Amino acid sequence: MPYFYTFDWTYIVFILPCIIIAAICQINVQSTFSKYSKIGNSRNMTGAQAAEFVLRQNGVSGVRIEHVGGNLTDHFDPRTNVIRLSDTVYNSTSVAAVGVACHEAGHAVQHAQNYLPNRIRGAILPLAQVGSKLSWILIIAGLFFTAKIGFTLLYIGIILFSLSVLFTIATLPVEFNASKRALECIKNSELLYGEEYKGAKRTLQAAAMTYVASALTAIMQLARLIFIARRRNN
């Protein structure tokens, strides 16, 4: 069995804390969304209507808003220019639904305005997809082989994996900015106010922390791989 698969001190130091943090963030986003899904907004506006409102406020047209199955499967697809809202968001009038829908509309606005970090993230995506598919094959092969060929495969695999890490990091400013756009629109237009606004903000903040946890996990995984490669080389 390759060294990489063993549960040793490097796993405990580099990876285990990240898994715990990610689990806490996931539990927090679920509980926060559940809490504010039970609180309706005073305008009685659905998630789909809220997303459409944000688009209009930003002068963005030509974006479809569709329903998609599942829970928290909401996303914006730049390839088809479609916002897809989940079961708990599309027709829901909850504070949480409005927050999430406005966030996805924020992504559509970024796309329409050619937001630079979003373009950078899009440029990295094809490289990250190749890296995620090939990196682990090369890393595992490199750990099986010995001598020069093993080291070469291992380091190439690590370089390819770093592209996936770079994409994860590049995602952070895009996600934070989408939430910022959403909350600014909600606040300035008084779409939500008082405790309703605070509920939407807390929902989006909780969701944002899952992206931070994901980036941290990717960075620490890369750090562990580099450490193992250097120790093996020595």
How crowded is residue 231: how many other Cβ atoms within 10 Å of its Cβ? 10
Conformation bin of residue 66: beta by default, left when phi > 0, alpha when psi is -120 to 50: beta
CA 104 to mean position of chain CA atoms: 12
CA–CA dist 107, 117 (Å, integer) = 11
Is residue 175 part of the annotated active site? The answer reads: no
CA–CA dist 189, 102 (Å, integer) = 12
H or E, element range at 83: strand 82-85
CA–CA dist 158, 224 (Å, integer) = 10
CA 117 to mean position of chain CA atoms: 14
Question: Six-digit token pair at 146?
Answer: 């010995």
Catalytic-labelled residue, pool 52, 66, 104, 175: 104
Catalytic residues: 104
